[in-house]
């Protein structure tokens, strides 16, 4: 695909080589010179018949005009300047758009492009903070709640890709993922020296996607990471200009990967059958498609409201009680800070997400009913272990009325939660307060991420120097 700016530059380049003015070329092809000027400036797209006439008049092929490469280093800078001036960062300054003239020197043009790049870099640096990340993530979570966590356009895109490689039933194989990559012109390469701040790296110039050599048992991790990298290309993502855009892109690629690993029709058929049998279980859904428990629970939230007619909630909670991921459209009162952010907030001690850590046997599902201020909920919780060896819990839950569809509904475990009322579990009892107040001193364990700014590269959280060194080292291999 050739953008209009590049097409216009190539027309101008070949017109200059032919020593023709705008009016002279326009008269030859039967259009006004002013109309041709709009085309050269990337403001009007020529019809194919006009493009063929222009190519004939300039004694070149149409393919020469449609070549996506800028015709000269000068043209490349002019195209880049135009692109940068269309960015939200520059538009927010309220300054006029500068059109480079023929009399503008290359040095001036290069300086202007450099200033724009520095402006964009400083804007990224300003937003690469935990506060900005939480604000943007809160807005995205609230938006997805209005969509019932369901994105039909990405569902259809995933189905198209699966049909194209002939996948119909069963767990998605590595071979199918490789075929999807080849259709997009990419080769999957597994390396042991990925930049520490990346999960995968896509080399657009050489058509390579670099992945780690090993991941989650069963291969879910490698398949998922490859699908996420492919999703960037399929969804036509550009370099993010804000943290909100970065998070939206990340959500979309995760959604695409899940929709490929657990395809819509097969998933809805499977869950619908289990619901009719009153035997819904996240662990069965997980095993049917060969994915992780967390992936299955999250995918369940995509489909539950739109296709199964039930509201749900999902939690990933650390062993310290901190909420790392959360979604709800069933009214469960997730803990939030003053900005509305849930990340890092401590969930109620009486919720299943924390009570599950108290069990000796953690290999099976833990079921619990919880009476909360907004209603009674049934929850299913599974304990997992992260690569850092720290444990976490994955909870999937529904309001009491929908518990009848799930295995484990007969549980007798029941807790009462009054959170966010501090008297529920956030304050020690009066007896213990009187016994120990001002008689102890604890050294707090500080989480490193609290004070650590994110690397301020092209992509939030990724070190550009490390990334480019990696690409350079592998481009010659």
> What CATH number does the domain containing 335 carry?
3.30.450
- Judgement on whether residues 102 and 75 belong to the same structural domain of the protein: yes
Task: State residue 444's pLDDT score.
Answer: 59
* 40 membership: H or E segment, kind and range: helix 33-40
Chain mean pLDDT for the chain? 87
In a domain, 325, yes or no: yes
Task: Give the model's confidence band at 133: pLDDT under 50 very low, under 70 low, under 90 confident, else very high.
Answer: confident
302 within 8 A of 101, measured Cβ to Cβ:
no
Is the residue at 425 inside a domain? no
Look up the domain containing 214 and give its range: 134-261+436-477
Number of Cβ within 10 Å of residue 182's Cβ equals: 13
Flag whether pLDDT at 130 surpasses 90.
Answer: no
User: Quick one: 394 and 408 in the same domain?
Assistant: yes
CA-based nearest residue to 231, from 198, 264, 216, 209: 209
Displacement of CA 61 from its chain's centroid (Å) = 40
- CB distance 354 to 276 below 8 Å: no
Q: Does residue 258 or residue 133 have the better pLDDT?
A: 258
Partners of 328 in beta bridges? 313
Of 179 and 337, the structure prediction assigns the larger pLDDT to: 179
Q: Is residue 228 part of a domain?
A: yes
pLDDT at 265: 95
Residues 6+ apart with CB under 8 A from 165: 176, 179, 180, 183
Statement to judge: residues 345 and 465 lie in one domain: no
Q: Which of 124, 142, 161 is the last residue of a domain?
A: 124
- What gap in Å lies between CA 176 and CA 14, rounded to an integer? 44
Residue 352: what pLDDT?
Answer: 96
Count: domains in the chain = 3
CATH code of 210's domain: 1.10.10.2910
pLDDT of residue 215: 55
| 277 and 394 inside one domain | yes
Does residue 129 sit within a domain? Answer: no
pLDDT exceeds 60 at position 446: no
Residues 340 and 469 in one domain: no
177 and 223 Cβ atoms separated by less than 8 Å: yes
Is the domain of 245 the same as that of 148? yes
362 and 476 in a single domain? The answer is no
Residue 345 φ/ψ, nearest 5 degrees: -75, 150
pLDDT of 329 higher than 70: yes
DSSP state of 142: H
Provide the CB-side half-sphere exposure for 422 (13 A, CA).
4
Q: Are residues 104 and 145 in the same domain?
A: no
3-class SS of residue 400: helix
Answer yes or no: do 408 and 448 share one domain: no
What would the two tokens of residue 202 be?
Answer: 């896509």
**Band of the pLDDT at 403, cuts 50, 70, 90?**
very high
3-state secondary structure (DSSP) of residue 384: strand
Going by pLDDT thresholds of 50, 70 and 90, the confidence category of residue 3 is confident
Q: What is the pTM of this model?
A: 0.74
Same domain, 111 and 173: no
**Range 70-88 average pLDDT:** 86
> Does residue 309 surpass a pLDDT of 50?
yes
- Per-residue pLDDT averaged across 401-408, rounded? 96
As a whole number, mean pLDDT of residues 280-299 equals 95
State the Cα–Cα distance between residues 413 and 213, nearest whole angstrom. 42
Looking at residue 450, what is its pLDDT?
44
Can you give the pLDDT at residue 406? Answer: 97
Cβ atoms of 260 and 172 closer than 8 Å: yes
Distance CA 74, CA 107 (A): 10
The answer on 146 and 84 residing in a single domain is no
pLDDT in tens, 187-229: 999 998 888 888 889 998 889 999 988 654 444 578 999 999 9
In a domain, 430, yes or no: no
Q: Is the pLDDT of residue 125 over 90?
A: no
pLDDT at 417 over 80: yes
Q: pLDDT band for 456, please (50, 70, 90 cuts).
A: low
Q: Which of 91, 124, 157 is the last residue of a domain?
A: 124
Alpha carbons 169 and 398: distance in angstroms, whole number: 28
301 and 180 within one domain = no
* Any domain includes 431: no
In a domain, 426, yes or no: no
Q: Which of 121, 114, 112 is nearest to 89 (CA)?
A: 121
Q: Is residue 429 part of a domain?
A: no
CATH code for the domain of 69: 1.10.260.40
Dist. CA 250–CA 232, nearest whole Å: 9
Per-residue pLDDT band for 452 (boundaries 50, 70, 90) equals very low
Query: Which of 416, 451, 469 is the last residue before a domain boundary?
Result: 416
């Amino acid at each position: 695909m050739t953008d209009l700016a590049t097409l216009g530059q190539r027309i101008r380049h070949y017109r200059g080589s032919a020593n023709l003015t705008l009016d002279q070329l326009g008269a030859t092809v039967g259009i006004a010179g002013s109309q041709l000027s709009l085309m050269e400036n990337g403001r009007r797209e020529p019809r194919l018949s006009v493009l063929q006439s222009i190519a004939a008049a300039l004694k070149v092929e149409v393919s020469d005009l449609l070549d996506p490469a800028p015709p000269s280093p000068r043209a490349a800078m002019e195209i880049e300047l135009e692109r940068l001036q269309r960015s939200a960062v520059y538009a927010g300054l309220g300054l006029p758009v500068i059109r480079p003239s023929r009399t503008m020197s290359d040095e001036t043009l290069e300086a202007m492009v450099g200033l724009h790049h520095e402006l964009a870099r400083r804007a990224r640096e300003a937003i690469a903070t935990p506060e900005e990340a939480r604000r943007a993530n809160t807005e995205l979570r609230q938006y997805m709640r209005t969509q019932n966590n369901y994105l039909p356009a990405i569902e259809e895109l995933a189905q198209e890709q699966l049909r194209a490689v002939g996948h119909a039933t069963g767990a998605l194989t590595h071979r199918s993922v490789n075929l999807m990559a080849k259709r997009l012109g990419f080769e999957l390469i597994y390396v042991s020296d990925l930049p520490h701040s990346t999960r995968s790296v896509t080399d657009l110039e050489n058509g390579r996607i670099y992945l780690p050599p090993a991941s989650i048992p069963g291969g879910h991790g490698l398949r998922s990471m490859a699908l996420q990298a492919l999703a960037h290309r399929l969804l036509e993502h550009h370099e993010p200009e804000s943290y909100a855009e970065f998070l939206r892109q990340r959500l979309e690629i995760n959604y695409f990967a899940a929709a490929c690993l657990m395809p819509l029709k097969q998933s809805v058929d499977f869950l619908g059958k289990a619901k009719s049998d009153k035997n819904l279980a996240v662990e069965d859904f997980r095993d049917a498609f060969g994915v992780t428990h967390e992936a299955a629970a999250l995918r369940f939230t995509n489909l539950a409201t739109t296709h199964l007619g039930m509201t749900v909630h999902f939690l990933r909670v650390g062993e310290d009680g901190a909420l790392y991921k959360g979604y709800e459209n069933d009214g469960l009162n997730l803990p939030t800070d003053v900005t509305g952010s849930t990340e890092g907030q401590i969930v109620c001690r009486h919720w299943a997400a924390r009570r599950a850590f108290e069990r000796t046997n953690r290999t099976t599902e833990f079921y619990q009913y919880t009476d909360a201020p907004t209603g009674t909920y049934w929850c299913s919780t599974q304990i997992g272990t992260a690569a850092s060896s720290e444990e976490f819990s994955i909870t999937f839950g529904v309001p009491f009325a929908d518990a009848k569809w799930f295995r484990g509904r007969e549980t007798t475990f029941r807790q009462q939660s009054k959170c966010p009322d501090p008297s529920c579990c956030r304050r020690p009892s009066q007896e213990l307060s009187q016994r120990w107040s001002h008689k102890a001193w604890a050294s707090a364990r500080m989480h490193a991420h609290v004070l650590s700014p994110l690397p301020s590269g092209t992509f939030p959280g990724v070190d550009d120097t490390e990334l480019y060194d990696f690409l350079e080292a592998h481009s010659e291999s």
